[in-house]
């Protein structure tokens, strides 16, 4: 049975499809109840159909959803960056995810999703039908541009094949990105995709990262409006830099491989014309990372 997510969020965002760009604009309908400079960043939710309601993974996602709906001033939007499903993108996984995030739609909080290596694109679209555009900018890729007052987010699709750890954008998507960046050069550009690049950061994670990272940076580096690249996939938290572009690895919401070195949570990003302030929130309220902040200046 398909799940039709409420379209209330679309009332807040100006939707356009022109010149091959699927664009959502957060500024046109900003209200006093919104914090137009705040973005909530989640990734690696890994929701499974058979997860008990009170088990850790769905409980972690439910915690951030509860925080969001209780805010007096809502963020500009919520971005969930891939690996939405537990393992291989089963229909029941997405039905469970839809149930967990439905309060965000009911609260008219705009939300955008990307896909990771544990997702299955066709199954995702069959369940979460609101997410599938009638005319995708790039065939078989789930991509868009989300405009906010201080930055444009370019949401990419690095899912190469379900259950294959490495990710790939491909030449067609990189060509689309170059054109989209040139068409939206008025503000800082932030790239958001599930996989880590094989540049900067920790080389231990390069084998499982984005296979066409070098080709991607040939697109990004010359375009000075590109300021940051945000990814998940690693289930950890870190910051790096390559050719002046910040590489921001945000914590997984679901689980971590080594609880002694990392923890689960989400990130609150506060944007300004000159940079971004990242606040880590952890599902363990007592964890040392909880409420830690870091400000990164744009190149």
In terms of C-beta density within 10 A (0-12 exposed, 13-18 middle, 19 or more buried), how is residue 11 classed?
exposed
Kindly indicate the confidence band of residue 144, based on its pLDDT and cuts at 50, 70 and 90. Answer: very high
Q: What is the pLDDT of residue 30?
A: 53
Q: What is the pLDDT of residues 274-290, one digit of tens each?
A: 999 999 999 999 999 99
The pLDDT of 246-271, averaged and rounded, is: 98
Instruction: Tell me the Ramachandran region of residue 37: left when phi exceeds 0, alpha when psi lies from -120 to 50, beta otherwise.
Output: alpha
CA angle 131, 136, 137 (to 5 degrees): 130
Domain assignment present for residue 27? The answer is no
Does any domain span residue 16?
no
Q: Using the Cα atoms of residue 246, residue 251, residue 256 and residue 261 in order, give the sign of their dihedral.
A: positive
- Would residue 254 count as lying in a domain? yes
Q: Give pLDDT, residue 249.
A: 98
Q: How far apart are CA 35 and CA 24, in angstroms?
A: 17
Residue 238: what pLDDT?
97
pLDDT value of residue 100: 98
pLDDT tens readout for residues 1-23: 455 454 444 433 444 545 577 78
d(CA 237, CA 171): 29
| 29 inside domain | no
Lowest mean pLDDT among 29-38, 76-85, 119-128: 29-38
Q: Residue 190 is part of which domain span? A: 3-11+36-297
pLDDT band at 134 (very low <50, low <70, confident <90, very high): confident
Q: Which residue has the higher pLDDT, 13 or 134?
A: 134
Task: Please state the rounded mean pLDDT for residues 90-95.
Answer: 98
In a domain, 271, yes or no: yes
pLDDT of 250 higher than 50: yes
Confidence of residue 31 (pLDDT cuts 50, 70, 90): low
Give residue-wise pLDDT tens across range 183-227. 999 999 999 999 999 999 889 999 999 999 999 999 999 999 999
Asked if residue 24 belongs to a domain, the reply is: no
Is 176 contained in some domain?
yes
CA distance 221 to 10: 33
Model pLDDT, residue 70: 97
Res 3: pLDDT:
52
Number of H helices, E strands in the chain: 5, 14
* Residue-level pLDDT at 45: 98
Q: Are 68 and 74 in contact (CB under 8 A)?
A: yes
Give me the number of domains the chain comprises: 1
The string of pLDDT tens digits covering residues 148-175 is 999 999 999 999 999 999 999 999 999 9
Which residues touch 251 (CB under 8 Å, ≥6 apart)?
Answer: 43, 235, 236, 237, 262, 263, 264, 265, 266, 267, 280, 282, 289
CATH no. for residue 152? 3.60.21.10
Predicted local distance difference test score (pLDDT) of residue 1: 41
> Which residue, among 132, 141, 60, has the nearest Cα to 101 in the 3D structure?
60
CA atoms of 65 and 60, how far apart (whole Å): 9
């Amino acid at each position: 049975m398909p799940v039709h997510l409420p379209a209330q969020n679309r009332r807040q965002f100006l939707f356009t499809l022109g010149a091959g760009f699927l664009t959502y604009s957060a500024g046109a309908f900003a209200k006093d109840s919104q914090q137009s400079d705040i973005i909530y960043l989640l990734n690696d939710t890994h929701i499974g159909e058979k997860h008990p309601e009170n088990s850790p993974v769905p409980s972690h996602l439910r915690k951030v959803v509860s925080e969001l709906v209780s805010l007096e001033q809502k963020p500009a939007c919520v971005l969930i960056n891939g690996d939405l499903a537990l393992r291989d993108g089963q229909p029941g996984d997405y039905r469970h995810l839809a149930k967990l995030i439905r309060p965000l739609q009911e609260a008219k909080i705009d939300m955008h999703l990307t896909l990771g290596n544990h997702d299955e694109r066709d199954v995702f679209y069959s369940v979460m039908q609101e997410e599938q555009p009638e005319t995708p900018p790039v065939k078989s890729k789930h991509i868009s541009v989300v405009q906010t007052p201080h930055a444009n987010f370019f949401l990419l699709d690095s899912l190469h094949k379900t259950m294959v750890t490495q990710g790939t954008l491909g030449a067609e998507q990189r060509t689309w990105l170059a054109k989209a960046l040139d068409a939206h050069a008025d503000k800082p550009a932030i790239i958001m995709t599930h996989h880590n690049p094989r540049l900067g950061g920790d080389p231990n994670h390069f084998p499982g990262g984005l296979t066409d990272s070098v080709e991607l940076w040939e697109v990004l580096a010359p375009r000075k409006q590109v300021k940051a690249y945000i990814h998940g996939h690693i289930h950890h938290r870190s910051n790096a830099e390559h050719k002046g572009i910040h590489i921001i690895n945000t914590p997984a919401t679901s689980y971590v491989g080594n609880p002694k070195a990392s923890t689960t949570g989400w990130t609150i990003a506060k944007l300004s014309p000159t940079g971004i302030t990242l606040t880590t929130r952890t599902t363990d309220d007592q964890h040392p990372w909880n409420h830690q902040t870091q400000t990164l200046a744009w190149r």
